[in-house]
Structure 1
């Protein structure tokens, strides 16, 4: 197919919904044609959250949820095409990240699992699908994550300045783009982004997220809790490294809280969780001593004004600005990246970065599911 229009689907650790975009990849820079957020039904979100932890009857539950989630992806595509006034025949392919329900990059048999059956998507939309991007990198000895740094490198690396791209989703990750062309791009997960803050406010206020960090701004940082969380072993690992809900989840937070001698007010916990996210991001960025530095933020956390203000304080004098300023809408960047990854797969182009994931070499990522 000659079309340069691709659809990207992304649903990350935050589990707030499916980001769906149409991207025009015909020129030297990706153009966002249309976008749509398809929210998760409450029951499906609960089932996906439960599958991130071991439980009873997992195979049957996963099998059913795999199809239900794929059907929601189909709806997201249909709504997206309706907004864009496009028909399925105008789309070259869908790049589907799927929903990660388990990510175990360490151990004797490392694995990662994303569900959202691509066969169902191809069958019900009539568009070919590229999916399962992570496992080939893992088969080659890599972590299978993060994958978006390749997209960052392709479009945002500059010989004029050192750049870091910070993505704050459920988990936060950084991409280091040094201006020295001889330096490899690096990238890794720094730790939590929104995942703990979202879980805590959902428990106490029945809200999916803390809009602009307003609740966190009402509390006070508890240094005891912050100190305990900062002792988490993952934070001291050297890259390549990646993490997810397997480590940072509400049960983990409860365990840390139970180790304290006295309880903490709920708003103070929220404030401390925001400080935990900001501190771990700040520590990671400052450890690389890239000066001068341009820092660009994307992901849902880029719209959390309290978090962005705190990052600005920690990282001063480095300006903290969003990727909007370089032509990549911060809320949709990851979905756009998976549209690009789909094109790379169809072109037979390698799209992993071994220096980021730890893979033994460059690999073509993704499996193709014909319409």
Structure 2
């Protein structure tokens, strides 16, 4: 019997709520051997969010956070291996997304660059496992957006010649992958998903997120505010496009409110509707009458958001990726294990039809144990 091809995928997304780690075997069809999630404390989460915007003493603060996150990523990997009862020597490589601190895609007034931290040198040293990281900048060097990168994995795992599929990732930001029966895979960010809702919930309820969307369900959508939010020029941009907390953040929301007095639960309902409408509008632009929509990411557990997506998509099927055999929480971490495998095997990890890169290239840097 062939030996397992074991990789670890590490993900800490825009919401910065937790580090997700998965152990994946790629010997046959990719499948998860073990999974582990480690919540990020409020102090480090606040520092991540603060560094997403220009601020004082950035370089020293970034350098300190770079090391702190690498230590936490390493601890998550080692805890994962303990749970799986597998020795580090059996792992081919770790694929670490890192924590995005700043993302300025092509066309940004501030220049064109992306930065993810969580020092892979230290991860390789602390775990004893070769680590692949810094995936996004190679795509940017080839003229791409640097994001989204997960659609290549979605295509490898979820493409079906018998139906058109859209994979919707609802993390801090939302992005979609279009998997037609035939033809090129497309993908792009559609706007905010959980980031604004989580910030608003933390400010007004003191909780990190609105569980199941219950608070949003208690409010009413403010149509004027929704119209103002959707007027942001990002929504009208053609693909390829990507975005982040640099654009859609709490300060932007407050400035859009412009001192209007709206019930907090009504603002939350409106933010949820913003996510649902922007995702639905993006998919409807694909001009296909019949599309199966599969949702992953934290938003898949927001019952109110899933309900609104089902309402907006009408007769089209809306489900989570659990229906395709993979828990929606672990898709992105699994994708970075796959991207590490692509890099180790000298295969491209980006899709030029998604990111707008001139060509498909091998992504990331390899830090040998």
Equivalent residue for 1:56? 56
Unaligned runs of 5+ in 2: none
Equivalent residue for 1:99? 99
Q: How many residues matched? A: 365
The match for 1:304 among 302, 310, 322 is: 302
Equivalent residue for 2:332? 334
Equivalent residue for 2:133? 131
Unaligned runs of 5+ in 1: none
Distance (Å, rounded) in 2 between the aligned partners of 1:267 and 1:240: 34
How far 1:3 moved relative to its partner? 4.9
Matched, 1:68 2:63: no
How far 1:350 moved relative to its partner? 0.8
SS state of the match for residue 234, structure 2? helix
How far 1:55 moved relative to its partner? 0.2
Residue pair 1:3, 1:92 contacting (<8 A) in 2 also? no
Equivalent residue for 2:274? 276
Distance (Å, rounded) in 2 between the aligned partners of 1:293 and 1:268: 31
Matched, 1:358 2:356: yes
Distance (Å, rounded) in 1 between the aligned partners of 2:210 and 2:279: 19
Matched, 1:153 2:151: no
Equivalent residue for 2:144? 142
Equivalent residue for 1:23? 24
Distance (Å, rounded) in 2 between the aligned partners of 1:158 and 1:134: 27
Distance (Å, rounded) in 1 between the aligned partners of 2:239 and 2:254: 27
How far 1:291 moved relative to its partner? 2.5
Distance (Å, rounded) in 1 between the aligned partners of 2:83 and 2:253: 40
**Runs of 4+ more than 4 Å apart:** none
How far 1:159 moved relative to its partner? 1.2
SS state of the match for residue 311, structure 1? helix
Distance (Å, rounded) in 1 between the aligned partners of 2:113 and 2:345: 26
Equivalent residue for 2:314? 316
Equivalent residue for 1:78? 78
Matched, 1:186 2:189: no
Residue pair 1:3, 1:91 contacting (<8 A) in 2 also? no
Quote the RMSD (CA, aligned, Å).
Answer: 1.0
How far 1:170 moved relative to its partner? 0.5
SS state of the match for residue 209, structure 2? coil
Matched, 1:117 2:123: no
Distance (Å, rounded) in 2 between the aligned partners of 1:328 and 1:353: 22
